[in-house]
């Protein structure tokens, strides 16, 4: 019997990106379906989060995520541009957010097709693996999407025609994420039990094995 896991994912989260290789390997190795559910990052959900948190928070995330990437041998560099428009001196988050809204809505559209993990697995490296500067320009995203079987222009057109539909999908994801027992990303949820962080995938597999997880 195929087991099912929900994965709450943000395109701005380095740890969400760093979780993808192990997630893909888990799906390839075991009889499990991962339902990736994109959510907006904290900078959108809680705009004053970075102003209220300890100033060491962001510095540590930069240090630790880079370290994790080196340890796991995952190509990594913070996106250029940042998916969130934010003044990192004042920590003010701009009201107009063209990048993260587009990315998250695209993920939501792929979710409605049952293919969000494949879409995000293709798109996220364009932002994060360091091979592209100006990931939002040219055909970088379109070529990545095409490799995963998506037509980016068609997706953008569908979202432009019904933006509220995909915002509703994201809002429902955020509601379910909040109800799962954790607020951070990536959060995996199996049978209502949350597993937060890219370093909890082995623990998640252990739990699923106790519920009959089989190899492919």
Domains and CATH numbers, the chain: 3-209 (3.40.30.10)
pLDDT at 180 over 90: yes
pLDDT at 148 over 90: yes
Q: Please report which confidence band the pLDDT of residue 53 belongs to, taking 50, 70 and 90 as the band edges.
A: confident
pTM to 2 decimal places: 0.96
pLDDT of residue 47: 81
Average pLDDT, the chain: 96
Give the β-pairing of 3-9 and 187-190. antiparallel
Q: Please report which confidence band the pLDDT of residue 58 belongs to, taking 50, 70 and 90 as the band edges.
A: confident
Query: What is the spatial distance between Cα 173 and Cα 6, in angstroms, rounded to a whole number?
Result: 10
Q: List the structure tokens of 69.
A: 């990437």
What pLDDT, in 10s, does the model give residues 71-96?
999 999 999 999 999 988 888 899 89
Task: Give CB contacts under 8 A, 24+ apart, made by 141-148.
Answer: 145/119, 147/122, 148/115, 148/118, 148/119, 148/121, 148/122, 148/123
How many CA within 13 A on the CB side of residue 173? 32
Q: List the structure tokens of 110.
A: 């792929």
pLDDT of residue 49: 81
């Amino acid at each position: 019997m195929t087991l099912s896991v929900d994965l709450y994912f943000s395109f701005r989260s380095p740890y969400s990106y760093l979780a993808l290789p192990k997630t893909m390997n888990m799906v390839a190795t075991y009889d499990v379906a991962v339902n990736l559910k994109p959510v907006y990052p904290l900078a959108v959900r809680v705009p004053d989060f970075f102003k209220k948190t300890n100033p060491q928070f962001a510095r540590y995330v930069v240090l630790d995520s880079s370290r994790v990437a080196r340890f796991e041998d995952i190509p990594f560099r913070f996106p250029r541009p940042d998916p969130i428009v934010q003044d990192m001196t004042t920590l003010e988050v701009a009201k107009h957010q063209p990048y993260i809204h587009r990315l998250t809505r695209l993920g939501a559209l792929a979710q409605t097709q049952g293919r969000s993990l494949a879409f995000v697995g293709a798109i996220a490296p364009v932002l994060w693996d360091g091979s592209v500067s100006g990931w939002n320009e040219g055909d970088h995203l379109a070529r990545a999407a095409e490799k995963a079987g998506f037509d980016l222009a068609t997706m953008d057109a569908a979202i432009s025609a019904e933006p509220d539909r995909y915002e509703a999908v994201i809002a429902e994801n955020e509601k379910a994420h909040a109800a799962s027992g954790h607020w951070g990303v990536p959060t995996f949820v199996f049978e209502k039990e949350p597993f937060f962080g890219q370093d909890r995938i082995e623990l998640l597999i252990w739990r699923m094995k106790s519920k009959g997880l089989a190899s492919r």
